[in-house]
Amino acid sequence: MSRSDALLDELRAAVARARVARLATIGPGGHPHVVPICFALEGERLYSAVDRKPKRSRELQRLANVRADPRVEVLVDHYEEEWARLWWVRLRGRARVVDAGEELARALALLTVKYEQYRTEPPTGPALAVEIEAWRGWHA
């Protein structure tokens, strides 16, 4: 295993353990739109779903943004006062909205396994599927 393979494995493990990320989409007029998300990682794909937390609408801006322009970035990071433990990973990819079918069921199942809250109130979707094209990261 090369040093770059080992680093990629380390980045994947850190992302898989993380509880929250920030999703950046391209909004109307080309402006960035950034929101915190819960997510599950499966190989080179990241899933996030519209859940039951209070929202004004189930048709979220991030879904409209992805339908208009699939380019996204996801930032996963860890902060604590001991700066020797800081790290971040940025995932660049293309997203799509998953409204139904086996892939939606798979995404929701992965999220339910990861988040205890979803076992009580499972998300119903839709979900975003991000096909990860590039991994970038840093750690102290």
Distance CA(98)–CA(53), nearest Å, equals 19
Tell me how many domains the chain contains.
1
Beta strands 87-98; 127-139: pairing state: antiparallel
Whole-model pTM?
0.91
pLDDT digits 0-9 by tens, 83-96:
998 999 999 999 99
Q: What CATH number is given to the structural domain containing 100?
A: 2.30.110.10
Least confident of 2-6, 11-15, 60-64, 104-108: 2-6
| pLDDT computed for residue 54 by the predictor | 46
Residues 25, 65 contacting (CB under 8 angstroms):
yes
Q: What is the pLDDT of residue 52?
A: 63
Could you tell me how many residues make up the chain? 140
Domain range enclosing 119:
3-139
CB under 8 Å to 47, separation ≥6 — which residues?
Answer: 39, 40, 41, 98, 106, 107, 110, 111, 127, 128, 129, 130
> Which phi and psi angles does 84 have, rounded to 5°?
-70, -10
Burial of 88 (0-12, 13-18, 19+ CB in 10 A): middle
